[in-house]
Amino acid sequence: MFSKILVANRGEIACRVIKTARRMGIKTVAVYSDADRDALHVEMADEAVHIGPAAAAESYLIAEKIIAACKETGAEAVHPGYGFLSERASFPQMLAKEGIVWIGPNKRAIEAMGDKIESKKFANDAKVSTVPGYLGVIESPDQAVEIAQDIGYPVMIKASAGGGGKGMRIAWNAEEARDGYIRSKSEAASSFGDDRVFIEKFIENPRHIEIQVLGDKHGNAIYLGERECSIQRRNQKVIEEAPSPLLDEDTRRKMGEQAVALAKAVDYDSAGTVEFVAGQDKSFYFLEMNTRLQVEHPVTELITGVDLVEQMIRVAAGEELTLAQDEVKLNGWSVESRIYAEDPYRNFLPSIGRLVRYQPPEEMSTDVLTIRNDTGVVEGSEISMYYDPMIAKLITHAPTRAEAIDAMSAALDAFYVDGIQHNVPFLTALMNHPRWKSGELATSFIDDEYPDGFSPAVPDAEAHTVLAAVALSMGALERERLDHLPGRLRPHSGAIREDWVVKLDKSYVPIRLAAGYPGTPVELDVAIGDGPIINVESDWSPGDQLWSGKVGSENVTVQIRQVTGGYRLDWQGYSVLAKVMTPRIAELDQLMPEKLPPDTSKMLLCPMPGLVVSIAVAEGQEVKAGEQLAVVEAMKMENVLRAERDCTVSAIKAEPGDSLAVDAVIMEFS
């Protein structure tokens, strides 16, 4: 077994590998760029080596710098994590020349399976069912349109070296095929240094299901069940679960055996994933093989009890698998949510900045419930524009799917992040979505259910009750403390007001304090309007970021953010501004004029912090609705900004190469 390994990655996956290595008694070496000098993975490792500037192309993607770090520290092996150098076949070859062990599959497997075009050719030769498509190199937009028409729309245009949803476009007509080819090729070149793309038939209403395989250097290979990753946005996975609610035992076995057959054909000797696109009728087609550890590997670990990182390390050290196929047992259900630095209320545009507050739910593991948080940040960490926007992966495990979902919903309610925009409210809303709970999934789920983007759910009567009760319990306590401060001109008489109004956004909710006295812990009886009396209990104190307790019979965790005159309450996908008022003040408040936001309809604003790639128009030019105006790159993704209406460009305020803040003016119209 190795005594020291180097982790050639950053963020949560670097921390994840370090945790297992530490448990195995193996020392670790971290590498870091300028942007990651104070990162968590640097602090966790036994040693750390600086490898260059912030841009990945000048640091994490330079194989020679990784090898130099190994020599400097005496690291015997390299774990690549995922992304960066994890699927570059030349890297393990370079390591081998220096006598350094690669913790991953052999070069032949990476070459055969790591390239999407070559892997499909290989799968066809191996008689594996594949999606119809064109696997040759496509030279021009015109050729892309011609191929797409031969296959038949819709088609998927994909980067050959792609991953993480980058370099992928769906085209439903010739214009989209032409534009998709250009965008995919450009994204592929900037993200992977390989601009080749291919085209295949897009299976409508599909599900994304993948099989986890594990092989060793002695010819053994097994599969560890499946994961369903159908909840995606822009081809990037958002929620994963294991097992899949679609599969039965027979289909699971067929997919698993096909995945193992493919792995054995290339002498696969590490952890890897064979991905399938599945129809609602349980038909399935080979999509690709990822010759590395997957982001969503924790859900498989929790239902099988197998530490995949440990197995990768042991296999790389030459050990034989100790687990046979008939010994693999699936236990319970696991769900993973990816916490991203993106604004769900602005079409999920990337968000960067410092984590002013970062308070994840407490991790736990019992016989009936596991809550796990894989992360690479702490409070005060910086979310950089140079890397993937993932903050953390929250994973729950319980005996049934419904229990795992309920646990995830509660854990997300307790996941407190401030300083940047993030997708926790969206994930919480998803957990409570009836279609998600039913298991009727498809990769189009988010587009189907949120066609106009995501916005906070409008509170129903039950939510009004919970949020109003929580707001009153806090408001009454804070007023009680203020009334008894020393030096007050009119100290409190001792009588507690019974009648209140809680304003939730624009709704005024009458609420009566029927019994109890505001204090810590809180224990009150309240009634909403003419409704029944319900009990409210909590140990909340002013300044706490989470209100945890009971409203009636329901366990509730609400995120609290102080605002002028009230609170911002976030719970179960609801996000409301709450203000506690006396009935008279509520009457007067309803007479106040509404402050309207400024008119920006004649401006093109930068929707995210990013880099201007191109400006497609000139001053004085007339443009039509839908016409391309500019391209802005952020978090390795190119975003095309189009005109919302017919207009004339009156002024251009930015140029290619400019780094812009969110809402910076790019151009003005007349």
Structure tokens at 59: 């640091």
The residues near 595 (Cβ < 8 Å, ≥ 6 apart) are none
Q: DSSP secondary-structure letter at 130?
A: B
As a whole number of angstroms, the distance between CA 344 and CA 409 comes to 17
Work out the number of other CB atoms within 10 angstroms of the CB of residue 483: 13
As a whole number of angstroms, the distance between CA 630 and CA 643 comes to 9
Strands 4-7 and 27-33: parallel
The residues near 436 (Cβ < 8 Å, ≥ 6 apart) are 231, 239, 405, 430, 445
Reference 430, options 391, 403, 457; nearest CA is 457
As a whole number of angstroms, the distance between CA 193 and CA 195 comes to 7
Strands 236-242 and 221-233: antiparallel
**What are the catalytic residues?**
288
Q: CA angle, corner 25, sides to 20 and 26, nearest 5?
A: 75
What's the count of helices (H) and strands (E) in the chain, helices before strands? 17, 40
Q: CA angle, corner 61, sides to 57 and 67, nearest 5?
A: 135
Reference 430, options 451, 445, 415, 411; nearest CA is 445
Three-class DSSP category at 95: helix
As a whole number of angstroms, the distance between CA 80 and CA 94 comes to 14
Three-class DSSP category at 257: helix
As a whole number of angstroms, the distance between CA 62 and CA 636 comes to 18
Q: DSSP secondary-structure letter at 72?
A: H
Cβ atoms of 613 and 162 closer than 8 Å: no
What is the chain's alpha carbon radius of gyration, rounded to the nearest angstrom?
27
Strands across the sheet with 47-52, in order?
Answer: 47-52, 27-33, 4-7, 77-79, 101-102
183 CB burial (10 A radius; 0-12, 13-18, 19+): buried
As a whole number of angstroms, the distance between CA 609 and CA 544 comes to 31
Write b or e for each residue in 283-320: b if 16 or more Cβ atoms lie within 10 A of its Cβ, otherwise e: ebbbbbbbbbbbbbbbbbbbbbebbbbbbbbbbbbeee
As a whole number of angstroms, the distance between CA 369 and CA 403 comes to 9
- Beta bridge pairs of residue 374: 393
